[in-house]
Structure 1
Amino acid sequence: MSAASTTRRRSATRMTLWRHVRRAVGRDSNPLCRCLDRARSRLVLALVFAFAGALALASAVSLLVVHSERGAALQTARHRHLVTATIVGPALSDGAGTTAEATWVRPPSEPQRGPVDAPGDVRVGATVPVWVNDQGRLAAPVRSDDEIAADAASIGLMALAGLSLSVEALYTYRRHMLDRRAQNGWGTEWEQVEPLWSGRMHGRPGGGA
């Protein structure tokens, strides 16, 4: 890394957000401040606001997910019923869990029979609670608030990550364009200043007497 690049990075690091604000609105008292410097400060402020907006939008997405999934859970809860099943067969383990044949009834539905989740040491005649739908068939339980919150947080974090990457990409692109303008402008400015600085304009190389 060149010394000039290191100097620019240290200078940018020392710049406070308040100074960027002053420079962006043209209140910087530094006489060497250029329009390009103000553009860079405006870019920094845009980055801050963009990240804040991304955080707000990701939070809104999480809240919408919570609201939507809780509404769906309440609707599902109206058609879920907890009943007691009686084990009528041995427990069978397939590596993913243990099931056992059981029977249950949820009036006014007919008695039902099928494999249900059960402890590994369950015995015939034992009872286990199971969730069923209005027709008495096995159904998934209603999602808990913790599960809904975990889903909402995951979706919100993914949204924040995607938005942050987009903001960072746009910032990097715009910063690159400003750096190119600075490099091109430096050449033009040097062509105007160099003759005065070197003394060539007055026919005195080096500016000496």
Structure 2
Amino acid sequence: MRKRLWRLRSNPLRRHDDVVEAWIVLVVGAVILVGGALAGFVTSHAADEAFSAQRTERHSVRAVLLTDTPSPTAGVGSRDLIKAKVRWTTADGTGRTVSALVNTGRKAGSKVVVWLDSAGNSTIEPPSSKETTLESAVLGLTAALAFAGLAFGTGAAARYRLDRRRIDSWGTEWDLVGPSWGRKTS
């Protein structure tokens, strides 16, 4: 631990830039830990709320398919969705017909489940709670890593500027001291 804090200890060779660099490293580390965790938590919570709102506003209805749908394309799988005309009866007894996303390979007259939003427009099925938990976690982790990368990059740029300043300072000092070191080879 003593080696890690050498920049903060009293030392006759310690420069002001060493102290500044030590504080930059300390602040960047704290920002990455606290800010990254906060960014991840806020993003995960916001995504979870958005998915919860989708599950709340969307509902399913049982409908009858009015047209045949083509067979699934080879190699893609049987879960292909395609827009097709469907009809269902609302709670007040009126019939509604819309284009909705249904599975391929169905015949006209088949019973299908159609998802609608709060305005009655056709939409896709909302993600399940397991899917939303996983997706919220992934989004939160991505936000935390992006924030940490940004903070790390900012700290690295600041340390690069300090290094350039130190190198320039050493060059200036060498220009003053170098000639007194004796004979030049050129």
**TM-score, normalised with respect to structure 1:** 0.60
- Contact 2:87 2:98 (8 Å CA) reproduced: yes
- The 3-state SS of whatever aligns with 1:84 is strand
1:153 is the counterpart of 2:138:
yes
Q: How does 1:97-112 map to 2 (within 5 A)?
A: 97-112=81-96
> Using a 3 Å threshold, how does the CA distance of structure 1 residues 166 and 103 change in structure 2: closer, same or farther?
closer
Instruction: State the match for 2:8 in structure 1.
Output: 25
> Using a 3 Å threshold, how does the CA distance of structure 1 residues 134 and 37 change in structure 2: closer, same or farther?
closer
- Contact 1:87 1:123 (8 Å CA) reproduced: yes
Q: Post-superposition shift, 1:152?
A: 6.2
Write the distance in 2 (CA, Å) between the matches of 1:86 and 1:70.
28
- The 3-state SS of whatever aligns with 1:181 is helix
Write the distance in 2 (CA, Å) between the matches of 1:168 and 1:185.
25
> Using a 3 Å threshold, how does the CA distance of structure 1 residues 126 and 45 change in structure 2: closer, same or farther?
same
Q: Post-superposition shift, 1:43?
A: 2.6
144-153 or 173-182: bigger deviation: 144-153
Write the distance in 1 (CA, Å) between the matches of 2:68 and 2:91.
26
Instruction: State the match for 1:86 in structure 2.
Output: 64
Write the distance in 2 (CA, Å) between the matches of 1:97 and 1:166.
40
Report the aligned-residue RMSD. Answer: 3.8
Larger of the two Rg values belongs to structure: 1
Write the distance in 2 (CA, Å) between the matches of 1:123 and 1:56.
51
Q: Post-superposition shift, 1:148?
A: 6.5
> Using a 3 Å threshold, how does the CA distance of structure 1 residues 134 and 23 change in structure 2: closer, same or farther?
closer
Query: What are the Cα deviations for residues 19-60 of structure 1, in whole angstroms up to 9, with x where unaligned?
Result: 33x224326xx6644443333333322332232234213212
Instruction: State the match for 2:47 in structure 1.
Output: 66
Q: Percent identity?
A: 19
- The 3-state SS of whatever aligns with 2:6 is helix
Residue identity in the other structure for 2:63: A
**TM-score, normalised with respect to structure 2:** 0.66
Higher normalized contact order (CA 8 Å, seq sep 6+, divided by chain length) = 2
- Contact 1:88 1:125 (8 Å CA) reproduced: yes
Instruction: State the match for 1:113 in structure 2.
Output: 97
Write the distance in 1 (CA, Å) between the matches of 2:14 and 2:121.
75
1:178 is the counterpart of 2:162:
yes
Write the distance in 1 (CA, Å) between the matches of 2:120 and 2:150.
49
Write the distance in 1 (CA, Å) between the matches of 2:94 and 2:56.
24
- Contact 1:59 1:156 (8 Å CA) reproduced: yes
- Contact 1:26 1:38 (8 Å CA) reproduced: no
Q: Which structure has greater helix proportion?
A: 1
- Paired residues, number: 175
- Contact 1:101 1:113 (8 Å CA) reproduced: yes
User: Out of 76, 82, 88, which is 2:57 matched to?
Assistant: 76
